Amino acid sequence: MVITDVEAEHEQLTAMLKLLKQENPQILTIVITTASDSELVIDLINQAQIFRFLNKPVSVRLLKGHVHSALQRYLIFRQTPELTREHRVQRTEKVRASSLGQRILDSTKTLRERWFGPGS
């Protein structure tokens, strides 16, 4: 699960969220923002399949409910792996081929290998 705050300078963060979802369809993302950019929201829903979108200020009770829902969804994904395959997003070569995309992919590969070992 990823919980992130997206503000005006969101290009790098949205690229990261898209790439993370492409590489790990089981990731569930909750986006928090003060921005009311409908194009940003539509882009994140379509290409990063964000799980929830919350406007600031955020109610702690509401956030806890969304976190609980995301954890329940994750458990369902673990029990039924074919559901994860249904949540795959289309690969966007434009983002992947960019220098930013390559840096993000390299960083996530390094993290994955540190946590789970080489070749994971």
Number of domains in the chain: 1
CA R_g for the chain = 15
- Is the pLDDT at 3 greater than 90? The verdict is yes
- Is the pLDDT at 112 greater than 80? The verdict is no
CA distance 70 to 61: 14
Could you tell me the residue range of the domain that residue 87 belongs to?
Answer: 2-116
Could you tell me which residues are beta bridge partners of residue 77?
Answer: none
- Is the pLDDT at 75 greater than 80? The verdict is yes
- Is the pLDDT at 87 greater than 70? The verdict is no
% of the chain residues with pLDDT over 90: 20
Question: Any idea how long the chain is?
Answer: 120
Q: Can you give the pLDDT at residue 16?
A: 86
Residue 99, domain CATH: 3.40.50.2300
- Is the pLDDT at 7 greater than 80? The verdict is no
Tokens of 82: 């074919």
Q: pLDDT for 8-56, tens place per residue?
A: 567 888 888 888 888 888 889 999 988 777 788 888 888 888 999 898 8
Q: Can you give the pLDDT at residue 93?
A: 76
CA distance 120 to 105: 14
The 10 Å CB-count burial string (b at 16+, else e) for 52-72 is bbbeeeeeeeeeeebbeebee
Q: Can you give the pLDDT at residue 8?
A: 58
Q: Looking at per-residue confidence, does 54 or 96 come out higher?
A: 54
Q: Can you give the pLDDT at residue 71?
A: 93
